[in-house]
Structure 1
């Protein structure tokens, strides 16, 4: 049984709260708990106010019908809500619920204090739901990610060497040309040039000896 006193902390209409709680008590699912309730307060006549209740699973919109004889209930789950907000006006505030699909749900004449607390409760539950969804999505991505395998290069197949022919032609041996030995005249000229290069004889002596050697041919 839901205790009514906890929903009268901000001057909510006791009769409206009691009537709505009696209906909501039968509508709550397992592990569902009401967190806050705001009651509409119209500036002139407030005989049939609307109520908004926030639970840990959804938002309830409670509208009296048939002159208060019946109650119409609509609810929207947190997974279907994009965001919530409120706007203070001259007479109370507007509480705005923006669904993922469809038009915004706007409830006017909510007392300012109740609108602030209603928004706080709804915002906290919506963020909590979004965080749970983020964690679930993260776990699903982790579980669906296959382990990384290292690509290994295929082992090359051994290449069979072709057997050499038994009767193979021998390689041609390189031809080495033997140098002809220098004759005596060439050796004399080479030695003479070496003496001149080492400055052991003068140019005149070099030219004279060179002429003698060439004349001897």
Structure 2
């Protein structure tokens, strides 16, 4: 069971946090972790506040239903998020999530401190995702073979009849031996390191975080 103590650092409603964490615990996938949880604080009656949870894989929108007896969850993975932002107002802040497709998701009355922390946690995940995508693209370019151009077969030339004249005999000349073909150039050290690192990851000998960190070290050393 996830401890709720670390999600109460910015005056979140303890009852709301406990209810949301209890439900989210059953929705998290392997290696998924809740990084921050913000709870709505309405200016008048705040009996059934909405909550927003940021994990290392997605962002959850948690809305109580049926007078608090049920909880509705909507999630969006980071690869489907274009950007996030917040706007401070008189009563708290608006937290805005802009998806790659569809309408913006706006949640009002998020306490200002929580909105800033929520925005920071979300942007950190977006930056990490973009860095992983950049490194994967670099590796793909390095390891992909060069395209081979295939030329169409030329039209056969029309042979013309010619008269063969006798050729005088000449002393035999021994041709110089043809040079042996060059050996295939071995792969460079960086490519070998990347292949070995990918093999370790595929065999589940290292975690995703270790793989991303080591890959970044190898590519940055170029």
**Structure 2 residue 23 is the aligned partner of structure 1 residue 29:** no
After TM superposition, give the deviation of residue 15 of structure 1 in Å: 0.3
Alpha-carbon distance in 2 for matches of 1:132, 1:98: 21
Tell me by how many angstroms 1:141 deviates. Answer: 1.7
Q: Which has more radius of gyration?
A: 1
- 1:83 lines up with 2:83 in the alignment: yes
> Which ranges of structure 1 fall in alignment gaps of 5 or more residues?
149-161, 166-217
CA distance in 1, matches of 2:7, 2:66: 25
Query: Scaled by the length of structure 2, what TM-score is found?
Result: 0.66
Name 1:49's counterpart in structure 2.
49
Shift of 1:145: 3.9
Report runs of 4+ in structure 1 exceeding 6 Å deviation: 162-165
Counterparts of 1:14-163 in structure 2, within 5 Å, are 14-146=14-146
Q: For 1:56-104, what per-residue CA distance to the aligned partner results, in whole angstroms no more than 9, with x for missing partners?
A: 0000000001111100000000000000100000000000000000000
Gap runs ≥5 in structure 2? 149-164, 169-222
CA separation in 2, counterparts of 1:92 and 1:145?
A: 54
Task: Give the Cα–Cα distance (whole angstroms) in 2 for the partners of residues 141 and 73 of structure 1.
Answer: 39
- Give the superposed CA RMSD: 2.0
Deviation at 1:134, TM superposition (A): 1.1
Alpha-carbon shift at residue 112 of structure 1 (Å): 0.1
Structure 2 SS opposite 1:74: strand
